[in-house]
Structure 1
Amino acid sequence: MLDLPPVPGDRRASVSGGLTPVMAGCVVLVTADRRSGELASALARRGATVRHAPSLGIVPHVDDEQLLARTRELVADPPEIVVVTTGIGFRGWVEAADAAGLADDLLAALSGARLVARGPKARGALQATGLVADWVADSETSREVLGHLLAEEALDGRRIAVQHHGAGADGIDEELAAAGADVVSLVVYRWGPPRDPAAVRDSVRAAAAGDIDAAVFTSAPGAHAWLGTVRAEGALADIVGRSGDGSMVMAAVGPVTAGPLRAVGIEPLVPDRGRLGALVRTLVGHYENLHTAAVTTPAGRLQVRRTVALLGDHVLPLSPSGLEVLRLLVEARGAVVTREQLLAALPGSSCDPHTAEVVVARVREVCGGREVVQTVVKRGYRLALSS
């Protein structure tokens, strides 16, 4: 997914398209099934390497006779109130109705109802069909929708259609029915088992071993399912520990999705708005802050990550040995690093000072020469820092 062409006149590299590769060297786990391609592309454009392991699958109901039967019931006896909980679910409902030749009749039946949307994505799906939401839940939770209906509407005897998301009804049907409403439930898709359970297990093991730098979650059921595999693999303590020390970043699209993570002691990044774009910006912003906190050298900001080093907005073409040498120099923050310390950090067991000199020469070459990596006579090397 990475495209790192050489910069003219420079041995360094940058991500194509003009975007700063602020996430270069970061392996990001995407646990979502739906819209995963869009999410992965957005992260890859900022330099990330994306690993995809959906923790749940989506089971569509396009051929579900119950869905079509209830759709026909609503066409024959239109609802007074319609609750739309997800954009993808509403679109799937209309598509299923269209496949059965019912789409026009369904939209006509819905057009006379009070339309309640569980967030902007649900509102957008309504708008795409020419319908307009009468009320939208700011928190994007079923609980807010239920509270609004119970407080604002006289529900006794009123016919309410509720399109559910993959996690189920969240108790909303029962409470509306208890208030006297005639509730028609429509499940347009539901969560099912992951298509590739082995990939999910491998992602958990990689996260526990330190090979995943960030994990992204877009639904509470997906987060809960991934954590279930974490527990099954005996990796919960390792992953909670990595999240706590900052070596692995967790990001959730909203507070509801963050709930299962917080329940086990993980505090994820959560954007102010529950959108994939906002989620990507929040994660990118986290790494931009780290980039800003990097050491400053005469050649620019320098940061060493787990698998790459960045100088300014460029990825340095370093070998694993060069990366470890540069990591030591950065961690020393301008203090002298001896040849013995450098040799100890290199693969193998060489005691030849010339080995360290060769690696340092390569590091100098890609970092801009002696003005960045300086020799301290008879002592070792130091990184030149700018104030």
Structure 2
Amino acid sequence: MTQHSSGQPLAGFRIGVTAARRAEEQIALLERRGAEVVHAPALSVDPNRVDEPALKAATAHVLAAPVDIFVATTGIGMKSWLTLADGWGMGDHLLDHLGAAEILARGPKSVGALRRFGLRELWAPESECFEDVLDHLRRRDLTGMRIVVQEHGQSLSMAAHALRRRGADVSTVAVYRVEGAEDPEPMFGLIEQIAARRVHAVTFTAAPAIASLMEAAASTGHRDEVITAFQADVVASCVGPVTAAAFEMWGVPSIYPERSRLAAMIKQLELELPSRATGTTLEVAGHTLLLHGDEVLLDGTEVKLSPAPYAVLQALLVNPGNVVSRRDLLAALPSGTAGSEHAVEMAVARLRASLGTRCVQTVVKRGYRLAVTL
């Protein structure tokens, strides 16, 4: 098995990073541990670029009448709103107004932002899930109560409607909107790598990033392949349970640390990926072939393979020694490869050039197989 230096627990692993905010910090943490990083921002979040006239009007509406219950959902949203309100000369009035209400907070980040401005929450769910905040409210008599909800980057209009049906007067305050990345090409590239199992893990630090990735995968016709890859080979690594919950509707398993922190997520990957990549060693045509992470070694010497021959090798390794048809090998080739059996033949030829001509056998009218010693 390939030996990694003690300070490089992620050497040999390729990890996709979907974060837009704090991406540089995450990439540095991963690269410091030896990982190869594919950065593909799923979102464009700039909390300092808000629709100020609309937010100012919404703030005036909040201040127009007493608030019974206030729900804070994000730390960055609360900080941005209260800072902007201060600049408009509404800051003290807004703090007094919200301070007189019963305050519910979705999680520790919103709690932290509230407390920095001298506001105290009465309750917050351990799960950090907005759905649990809603469930907490639904168990109460809301008739005639005025509720203000700070949105978390995406519209909460459906939640507001549900609370109105229970007799509440509900206002939502949109501080910022989460939108897709300005340049979708890196995301399209990452989706192709996920589908082809060319990344070992993908990290997610926000639930909307998962929705954005799935939307992009659907638009390129790769959604089913992406789901299958996450279910089988590619680790979906989330910063916490709120983010991980976004994968549940797709039937995708994910991992997340006990503490919803970036460093904890990276530490979990340090343990998870090496434990999964135990390495595959085969005797092929008199040679020892070893795969560990992205590394391919033949008799102890690293072999560099381009994407097409690497994809063919991975397909042949699913059931070593069994015949794989040209059609199945064609389906395994990376997107963008010429869609013909000639492309398969070229990929096989390049694989033979790297591993030796006897390593991949042609089975007439059926396909190809690895010449393994079983």
Give the TM-score normalised by the residue count of structure 1: 0.68
Task: Report what 2:191 is aligned to.
Answer: 204
Q: Residue 257 in 1 paired to residue 243 in 2?
A: yes
Give the secondary structure class of the aligned counterpart of 2:177. strand
Task: Report what 1:165 is aligned to.
Answer: 152
Q: Residue 282 in 1 paired to residue 268 in 2?
A: yes
Q: Residue 130 in 1 paired to residue 137 in 2?
A: no
1:135-190 superposed Cα distances (whole Å, 9 cap, x missing partner) = 011222222112212324x4322222110111221632112222222222101111
1:117–1:133: 8 Å Cα contact kept in structure 2? Answer: yes
CA distance in 2, matches of 1:283, 1:348: 31
Give the secondary structure class of the aligned counterpart of 1:135. coil
Q: Residue 80 in 1 paired to residue 68 in 2?
A: yes
Give the secondary structure class of the aligned counterpart of 1:72. helix
In the TM superposition, residue 209 of structure 1 has moved relative to its aligned partner by 2.9
Q: Residue 57 in 1 paired to residue 64 in 2?
A: no
CA distance in 2, matches of 1:76, 1:236: 46
1:214-260 superposed Cα distances (whole Å, 9 cap, x missing partner) = 111223322122112222222234333433432x2111234443345
Q: How does 1:283-322 map to 2 (within 5 A)?
A: 283-290=269-276, 304-307=292-295, 320=304
Q: What are the ranges of 5 or more consecutive residues in structure 1 without an aligned counterpart?
A: 1-11, 296-301, 310-315, 325-330, 332-343, 352-387
Give the secondary structure class of the aligned counterpart of 1:39. helix
Task: Report what 2:209 is aligned to.
Answer: 222
In the TM superposition, residue 269 of structure 1 has moved relative to its aligned partner by 1.6
1:205–1:233: 8 Å Cα contact kept in structure 2? Answer: no
Q: How does 1:292-371 map to 2 (within 5 A)?
A: 304-307=292-295, 320=304, 347=354, 349=356
Amino acid at match of 2:183: D
2:4–2:11: 8 Å Cα contact kept in structure 1? Answer: no
CA distance in 1, matches of 2:291, 2:192: 27
Give the secondary structure class of the aligned counterpart of 1:50. strand
C-alpha distance 184-210 of structure 1, shift in aligned 2 (>3 A): same
Q: Residue 242 in 1 paired to residue 229 in 2?
A: yes
C-alpha distance 170-286 of structure 1, shift in aligned 2 (>3 A): farther
C-alpha distance 66-219 of structure 1, shift in aligned 2 (>3 A): same
In the TM superposition, residue 25 of structure 1 has moved relative to its aligned partner by 2.1
Task: Report what 1:41 is aligned to.
Answer: 28
Q: What are the ranges of 5 or more consecutive residues in structure 2 without an aligned counterpart?
A: 281-289, 311-316, 318-350, 359-374
Aligned match of 1:266 in 243, 252, 257? 252
Give aligned pairs, total: 302
Amino acid at match of 2:7: T
Give the secondary structure class of the aligned counterpart of 1:127. helix
Give the secondary structure class of the aligned counterpart of 1:347. helix
1:30–1:217: 8 Å Cα contact kept in structure 2? Answer: yes
1:327-358 superposed Cα distances (whole Å, 9 cap, x missing partner) = xxxx9xxxxxxxxxxxx97727589xxxxxxx
2:128–2:241: 8 Å Cα contact kept in structure 1? Answer: no
2:296–2:303: 8 Å Cα contact kept in structure 1? Answer: no
Q: How does 1:182-201 map to 2 (within 5 A)?
A: 182-201=169-188
Alignment RMSD: 3.3
Aligned match of 1:146 in 134, 141, 144? 134
1:118–1:136: 8 Å Cα contact kept in structure 2? Answer: yes
Aligned match of 1:111 in 93, 99, 103? 99
C-alpha distance 317-113 of structure 1, shift in aligned 2 (>3 A): farther
Give the secondary structure class of the aligned counterpart of 1:251. strand
CA distance in 2, matches of 1:244, 1:148: 33
CA distance in 1, matches of 2:167, 2:226: 46
Q: Residue 89 in 1 paired to residue 67 in 2?
A: no
CA distance in 1, matches of 2:248, 2:81: 33
CA distance in 2, matches of 1:74, 1:263: 34
CA distance in 1, matches of 2:164, 2:46: 27
Give the TM-score normalised by the residue count of structure 2: 0.70
CA distance in 2, matches of 1:73, 1:265: 41
In the TM superposition, residue 45 of structure 1 has moved relative to its aligned partner by 2.9
C-alpha distance 155-253 of structure 1, shift in aligned 2 (>3 A): same
In the TM superposition, residue 82 of structure 1 has moved relative to its aligned partner by 1.0
- Bigger Cα Rg: 1
CA distance in 1, matches of 2:8, 2:216: 32
CA distance in 2, matches of 1:170, 1:282: 35
